[in-house]
Structures are given as structure tokens and as C-alpha cells.
Homo-oligomer: A and B are copies of this chain.
Amino acid sequence: MCQLLGMNCNVPTDIVFSFTGFATRGGQTDEHKDGWGIAFFEGAGVRLFVDHESAIASPVAELIKRYPIKSKNVIAHIRKATQGHVALENCHPFIRELWGRYWVFAHNGDLKNFSPNLTGTFRPVGTTDSEQAFCYLLQSLHERFGDSLPTMSALRTAIDELTKDIASHGVFNMMLSDGSALFAHCSTRLHYLVRQYPFTQARLSDQDLSVDFSKVTTPNDRVALIVTEPLTTNESWQAFEANELKVFVDGAPLPSA
């Protein structure tokens, strides 16, 4: 299995603190050492860093921990290989373009007997069930909506149906973003937290590290963090329900549909 970390904000925010705790699980406090990756949206562009080394040993992860890249949508992943060997092409997040936007995807879980008929131009490069699921998602969205981006409401309904369909094949915790929203589907295990005014101190559970967010934020900032296992010990993380899709926009979940 793997672990997921997502961030969705109303203003570009760096993820150095959360990533530092999360990356510790990539070989030190936990066993997810078969590669890792992180994608940052920056405007319409994406910075994607992937590495088949463990997040603990990777010089690229070291850079991310020191270089505060600011983004409104981030998706990160640490991998423990279940399907697909340890190779760069099997590291999440994956990226594709649809409707003139980049889409970024990462998955935690294991799908059984999942062999979607991929007939379009979204084809897996690696050998994971995850990349197959991503290609199937994008192919299905393209089939449903043609060449134009649908409304958020239509998109949400479609992604909700498609993720439930894929989840019928196994465990499918996933995060998907087009840079404007972060879609998070929980099959078995996902937590989230919204940090907003008044900000307080947060303490990592995986490292002896605290940040007083009241000193590095403005009262208007709002940040949603979504993660497999809570990252801090002194904040109230909320568990997703099983088979729940949440859509995060501007640092908060949209009301239930």
C-alpha cells in the first residue's frame, strides 16, 4: 500500500512542514520506500517531481523540504509497491492533459480484476493498476463531456460515479486535481483538516517539529490538508466516510451534493 497527501488552498501556500512529516514515512517512520512523488500546480503549469528512491534518501525530496514552492493544489504520494515493479514510470503522481488543462492523479490501494478497455489516447506508460485507473477516468470523462470542460457540478457527479465504479474492484483511495479543485475519494482511509483563522501551533507526529501558523499566515488564508493518516498530534483531523468523494476548492470542502 501507499500513502497520499493533498493540499488545496485559497492562496498559494508552501507545503514544506506537512511534506517533511509525510516524507519521514517514506522509509523511516513507515515502510513506504519504493519511490515517491509530488506535483505542484503553479498557475496552469505543474511541477512534477518523481523518484524511485525512498523519500528519506532522495536528494530531490531534500530539495522540496528546503525550497518553499507555493501552490494552491498539491498532490504527493509515497509508494510501497503492490502492483508494478519499482521504476520511475510507476511512481505517482501521474500527469495527463485533458481540455487544455493538466490533470494530476495519485492512488493508494490495490485493484483486482481491473482491466478497463482503454481505446482512446490515454494509455498507461507503466505497469500499475493506478495508472490504468487514471487513464480510465480521463477517457470516461472525455467520452462523457466531449471536447469541452463541463460545469463543476457535472464534473463532480461524473467523478463520483466513476470512482465508485473503480472502487468496486478493490481499495481506491485517490486524489485528482486540475489545478482549480482537488477531488479526493476515500475507499478505506483518508483524513482531512482545514486550517484557517485563528491559526495555532501544529506539531508533527512523525518528527519533533512544530510550526506556529499564526506567525506565517494572514487572516484570510485557508488551507485544506488531506492525508491517509493524520500528520499532526494536536489538531482535529476528520475521517472521510467509506466511499465518499469530497471536492476541495479554495481551502475547504464543497458542501455535500
Contacts and interface: CB of A to CB of B under 8 A. Distances in A.
A44 B87 contact: yes
A255 interface: no
A123 B120 CA distance: 15
Interface stretch (A59-67, A109-117, A161-169): A59-67
A42 interface: yes
A122 B120 CA distance: 12
Given A42-B88, A47-B88, A89-B43, A121 B95 contact: no
A253 interface: no
A126 B67 contact: no
B123 A46 contact: no
A45 B97 contact: no
A43 B59 CA distance: 20
B43 A87 contact: yes
A101 interface: yes
A221 to B, nearest CB: 22
A219 interface: no
Interface residues of A, number: 39
Given A44-B89, A88-B47, A142 B121 contact: yes
A195 to B, nearest CB: 25
Contacts of A123: 97, 99-100
Contact of A46 (B46, B88, B121): B88
Contacts of A46: 88-89
A43 B87 CA distance: 8
Given A44-B126, A46-B89, A95-B95, 20 more contacts: A42-B52, A42-B88, A43-B87, A43-B88, A43-B89, A45-B52, A45-B88, A45-B89, A45-B91, A45-B125, A47-B50, A48-B48, A49-B49, A60-B63, A63-B63, A96-B96, A101-B125, A119-B147, A121-B121, A121-B122
